[in-house]
Every structure is written in C-alpha cells, then in structure tokens.
Amino acid sequence: MTSMERVLAALSGTPQPRPPFTLALSLYGARLSGCPLSRYFRDAESYGAGQQAVYDSFAPDILFSPFALPLEAEAFGSEVIFLPDYAPNVRKPAVRSAEAFLDLDMPDVDNHPSLLYLRQAIASTAARVHGEVPVCGILTAAVDLPAIVMGIDQWLETLLFDGDRAAAILTRCIDHFAALANAMLHDGAAFIAVPAMFTNPRLVFRRMIDDLILPAMARSFALVRGPIVFHHGGNPMVPFLEDYLDLPGVVGYAVDHRDPLGKARHLLGPEKLLLGNINGPALARLSPQRALAKVDDILHDRQDDYRFIFLNAGADIPLDTPPELLQAISRKITSYTGGM
C-alpha cells in the first residue's frame, strides 16, 4: 500500500491496520540534508531534497510544503529575517496602517519569487516521491495574513476600531489566499492545510469571529479547488470546534496536544478526518520512553477510528530533536496493527 492509498483510505474511512502518520518536518529536512536555512527556505530544489531526506529517514505518509508563513508576508513587502535554527520570521511589516495596506499591490502568485519558491518547492517534493506520497501545501489563513503584513497590533486595532477597512483588507487577503491555494494544488499539492489563529476566541472577541472572521474564512475556503485541513495554530481548538464545522471544503481538523481526541471525534462526527496530537515542539523534552508511550496511548485511543491521521500538534519539530527518536516513533506507528 502506498502512502497515497493509505491517506485516501483514511479519507473514505476504509479500515486499515494502522493510521497514516506524519510529523511536521518541513524545517527538519534541512538538518537531514545538511542545508543552511537561508538556502533551504529560498531554493525550491534544496527544499525538495530535504523533504526527500525526510521521506528516506522516517517514511511519513504525508510530506509538507515549506512551513514559512512569513514568505507570504514578504510577497506583500514585509522584511523577513532568516534565522540559523528556525523558520524565517517577519522583521518589519510591509505597512503600519490599514490605509497603507489597502494601497499595496497584490503579489502575483505566478511572478513573485517568494511565492514561486513555495510553489516550486511543492513541485520538487511531489516529483521526488512520484505521486506516491501526498504533499500538503501550507498557507496563511486570510484572516491571519494581515498580522504579518501590517503587524499584529495594527491588525487588532483595525479589527477593533475600523470594521470597514478590516473587511476591505480581508477581501484582498481572500483573493491572495485562493490564488495561492489553487496554485499549490495545481503544482502538486494533494490538499492544503491552514493554521488559523484569528478564528480562535483566545485571540479575538466572539462577536468579531461570528460577524467577520468566520464569514471571511468561509468565503476563502469556498474558492479553493481541493480538500482543506483546518489546523489549530497553537491554540486548543476543541472548545470551539463546533464553530468551524460548517466551513466549506474542510475534510479534516488538526487539533492541539491539549485537545482530547475522543472529544474531538465526538464533535466532528464520523465523516471528517481527525489529525493529532502529540506536542511536536516539545518532543525532545520527553524521554524516548515517555514519547513512545504517548504515541502508544494515542494509537490505542484511536484504534477503531479509521478517519484518524497521526500528526504532531503545534509548530515544526525543532532541529535539536534527535533523529533516533523520530525514527522510533515512525517504527512504532508503521509496525502497529491494532486497527484490524
């Protein structure tokens, strides 16, 4: 069975001995291929080579596009800093007001080098695994993008005190989101994943979410010509999961490590994919025994759940995580047969 078949089986809920599994190893490919991050996050072929190394080392069932949301902000004019040991960050937002945002030219997904890099990295990765392993394209939610184009404080300010401009900005971001998502799907992504932060009541007022944020998310998702995974973005999601169930095009939900998987499944119903949930960024802090015991617990907890995909929660697996631990996790899951 190829990884693609395994993931498709999960999508249709077909029983299989073990769930598909993957880890957020976008960053980690650079360690495996010995590539400096300033090249890895600029040169699509280097990125593809890193993902090839991820596949060769751990055989995950899904590979990822560069998890580097700031590159989208860069396409709008933000200044980006390349860190020696982490994904790039925004150093300086492109603009500092809602008015200035609305004066910006929209970046062209067919021309801007940062966006072409993201697209070509997908194409390179997909070509290397010959369509046998699905590649997931990661992009910034339309409602989050302003936070890295104008600064999170200015985006909050606009959402709170200038509803009209916030709506106008969202319309721009929705256009960008749809263009990039569809380009990623065209270039070889089997589906896209969207970490979402400003959808969460831990960030903004509930009424803002209901009146502005969720309608914008729905509009953006409706324009995407492929399946979507909605990702928790670093916040617990189960308390609010019901609010996101009607978003169009979403086939699966990736929850936080603090979210109980059983409860998540209950809220999702039987039809949607559930992805989760060991804490990726903190993996290296656990002893290997504890990490593997957690993996075991998750596998047993989900053993009859044929629409479950094992994925770490949170951001990328940090570079200092030992490869032996990731190999052990991979072995544990790939040798599991409790599902049938």
Partner 1 sequence: MNEGDPRKLLIDLILIGERQQAMTLLCRSAEAFGWRQTIFTLLEPALEDIGRRWEAEHISLAAGYLAGKIAEEVLLRAAEQEESLPEVKGPIILGNTEDDYHSLGRKLVAIFLRTGGWKVIDLGNDVLAEDFVEAAERHEAKIIGVSAMMLSTAENIAKIRNLLEKRGLSADIKLAVGGAVFKLRPELVAEVGGDGTAANAVDAPGLMARLLGEEARP
The residues that touch partner 1, with contacts defined as CB under 8 A, are 81, 83, 85-86, 89-92, 151-153, 156, 159-161, 201-205, 207-208, 234, 281-282, 285, 314, 318
Stretch that binds ligand B12, among 36-44, 47-55, 95-103, 227-235 (CB under 6 A): 227-235
- Selected binder of ligand B12 within 77, 234, 239, 260 (CB under 6 A): 234
- Tell me the number of residues near ligand B12 by CB under 6 A: 19
Q: Which does 290 bind (CB under 5 to 8 A by kind): ligand B12, partner 1, none?
A: none
Tally Cβ neighbours within 10 Å of residue 233.
20
**Between residues 89 and 303, which has the closer beta carbon with respect to partner 1?**
89
Position 23, amino acid: L
Site membership for ligand B12, residue 69 (CB under 6 A): yes
* Sign of the dihedral through C-alpha 206, 99, 218, 9: negative
Given a contact cutoff of 8 angstroms between Cβ atoms, the answer to whether 146 and 101 are in contact is yes
Q: Which helix (H) or strand (E) holds 297?
A: helix 288-301
What is the C-alpha separation between 71 and 108, in angstroms, rounded? 13
With CB under 5 to 8 Å by kind, the binding choice for 148 among partner 1, ligand B12, none is ligand B12
Is residue 314 at the binding interface for ligand B12, with CB under 6 A as the rule? yes
CB 144 within 8 A of CB 176: no
Question: Does residue number 70 form part of the binding site for ligand B12 (CB under 6 A)?
Answer: yes
Which residues, numbered 148-187, are part of the site for ligand B12 (CB under 6 A)? 148, 152
Residue 70 touches which of ligand B12, partner 1, none (Cβ within 5-8 Å per kind): ligand B12
Which amino acid appears at position 55 of this protein? Answer: Y
- Binding of ligand B12 at residue 10 (CB under 6 A)? no
What's the residue count for the chain?
340
Instruction: State how far the Cα of 14 lies from the Cα of 7, in Å rounded to an integer.
Output: 10
Kindly calculate the radius of gyration of the chain based on its CA atoms and give it in whole angstroms. Answer: 19
- Residue 321 binding ligand B12, by CB under 6 A: no
Query: Residue 226 or residue 234: which is nearer to partner 1 going by CB?
Result: 234
Give the residue from 143, 262, 136 showing the smallest Cα distance to 198: 143
Kind plus residue range of the DSSP H or E element containing 51: helix 44-58
Token pair in block for residue 165: 């401009």
Q: Which is nearer to partner 1, 47 or 155 (CB)?
A: 155
Nearer to partner 1, 84 or 269 (CB): 84
Q: Which stretch binds ligand B12 (CB under 6 A): 84-92, 95-103, 113-121, 244-252?
A: 84-92
- Can residue 90 be called a binding residue for ligand B12 (CB under 6 A)? yes
**Cβ closer to partner 1: 132 or 210?**
210
Query: Residue 194 and residue 236: Cα distance in Å, rounded?
Result: 15
Task: Give Dmax over CA atoms of the chain in angstroms.
Answer: 58
Smallest gap from residue 316 Cβ to ligand B12 (A): 6
Q: Which is nearer to partner 1, 90 or 267 (CB)?
A: 90
- Closer by beta carbon to ligand B12, 47 or else 336: 47
Of 10-18, 94-102, 125-133, 233-241, the segment contacting ligand B12 by CB under 6 A is: 233-241
On the question of a cis peptide bond just before residue 89, with omega within 30 degrees of 0, the verdict is no
DSSP 82-95: --SSS--EEEE-S-
194, two tokens: 């969207």
- Nearer Cβ to partner 1, position 160 or 340? 160
Using the structure block, give the residue that is written with the tokens 């990490």.
Answer: 291
Binding site for ligand B12 (CB under 6 A): 67-70, 87, 89-90, 144, 147-148, 152, 197, 233-235, 281, 314-316
